């Protein structure tokens, strides 16, 4: 059976998250329904990561096996046809070896969090960014974010329902930058804990509004205590932007 790697973007607002479930629509479920219509047989779609309810993606990656041997463009276009009217699009379909796995073969994942700091309510970006009504100090937030880089016990930024075996993770890149009235937080790592980026973002905003200093942020991280986490940021502004894999031999 031919295996295809899919690069996917979606608006997470209407979904209960990536993972297939019985109590509401999911991105995985929408893709599996579309793939089953394409292939004429049940298809399982394996994703690179499980985004939460309301979280978006610009570069989610998944793989599937089909009975039919189809051209890559045909797979992309047919899936997009059957995905209507869901706000999900297959950007690219690529034939890969059968040992490729969207989750286990990944070596890096990148997330973006968008914050718009203005008093005026959002219109076009409603549901796509977190509105904070007070101007943020992006430079102080960036300084605090640098303490994330490296290997740490991230218990402070770990959701109570996280099922990971260990709270120890390594973050490779973390930055905060202002673009007009938007503040963008970017974080890259091989893998993340449940709601880790949203927890980090909420605490960085505490720095941005002046409630915490960058040193306070470091102290919260070092404490390895969930009670030291700031308010968890809403899902609206979070995007999975890319999943990277080793280069083909």
Residue where one domain finishes, among candidates 96, 117, 144: 96
List residues with catalytic annotation. Answer: 52
64 conformational bin, left if phi > 0, alpha if psi -120 to 50, beta if neither: beta
CATH number at residue 54: 3.30.70.580
CA distance 90 to 86: 11
Q: By the 8 A CB rule, do 29 and 14 touch?
A: no
* pLDDT recorded at residue 22: 82
* pLDDT recorded at residue 86: 97
Mean pLDDT by 10 residues, the chain (249 residues): 97 95 92 97 96 96 97 98 98 96 97 97 97 97 98 96 91 97 97 96 98 98 97 97 90
Domain that holds residue 87: 3-96
Give residue-wise pLDDT tens across range 173-194: 999 999 999 999 999 999 999 9
Residue where one domain finishes, among candidates 96, 124, 151: 96
Residues 124 and 230 in one domain: yes
Instruction: Name the domain count of the chain.
Output: 2
In terms of Cα–Cα distance, which of 194, 180, 189, 181 is closest to 145?
Answer: 189
Is residue 124 packed enough to be buried (19+ CB in 10 Å), middle (13-18) or exposed (0-12)? exposed
Residues 14 and 119 in one domain: no
CA distances from 154 to 159, 197, 231, 239 (A): 10, 11, 16, 20
Residue 78 has φ and ψ, to the nearest 5°, of: -70, -40
Q: With the CA atoms of 206, 158, 152 and 117 taken in that order, what torsion angle do they form, in degrees rounded to the nearest 10?
A: -30
First to last CA, the chain: 22
Q: By the 8 A CB rule, do 78 and 38 touch?
A: yes
Rg (CA), the chain: 19
Residue where one domain finishes, among candidates 63, 96, 129: 96
Residue ranges of alpha helices (H) inside the chain are 27-39, 72-83, 138-145, 196-208, 214-223
Residue 227 carries which DSSP code? G
In a domain, 246, yes or no: no
In a domain, 244, yes or no: no
Contacts of 69 by beta carbon, 8 Å cutoff, 6+ apart:
2
Residues 127 and 90 in one domain: no
In a domain, 58, yes or no: yes
Could you identify the residue written with the tokens 């030291």? 228
Residue 85, preceding peptide bond in cis (omega within 30° of 0): yes
Residues 132 and 189 in one domain: yes
């Amino acid at each position: 059976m031919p295996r295809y790697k899919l690069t996917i973007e979606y608006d997470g607002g209407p979904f209960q998250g990536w993972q297939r479930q019985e109590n509401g629509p999911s991105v995985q479920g929408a893709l599996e329904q579309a793939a089953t219509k394409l292939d004429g047989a049940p298809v399982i779609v394996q994703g690179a990561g499980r985004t939460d309810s309301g979280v978006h993606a610009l570069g989610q990656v998944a793989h599937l096996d089909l009975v039919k041997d189809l051209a890559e463009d045909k797979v992309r276009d047919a899936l997009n046809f059957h995905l209507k009217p869901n706000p999900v699009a297959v950007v690219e379909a690529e034939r890969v070896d059968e040992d490729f796995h969207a989750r286990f073969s990944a070596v890096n994942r990148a997330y973006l969090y968008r914050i718009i700091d203005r008093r005026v309510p959002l219109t076009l970006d409603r549901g796509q960014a977190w509105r904070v009504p007070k101007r943020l100090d992006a430079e102080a937030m960036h300084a605090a974010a640098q303490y994330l880089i490296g290997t740490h016990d991230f218990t402070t930024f770990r959701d109570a329902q996280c099922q990971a075996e260990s709270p120890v993770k390594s973050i490779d890149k973390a930055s905060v930058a202002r673009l007009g009235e938007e503040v963008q937080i970017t974080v890259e790592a091989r893998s993340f804990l449940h709601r880790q980026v949203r927890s980090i973002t909420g605490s960085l905003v505490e720095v941005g509004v002046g409630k915490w200093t960058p040193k306070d942020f470091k102290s919260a991280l070092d404490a390895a205590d969930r009670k030291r986490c700031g308010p968890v940021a809403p899902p609206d502004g979070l995007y999975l932007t890319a999943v990277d894999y080793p280069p083909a031999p």
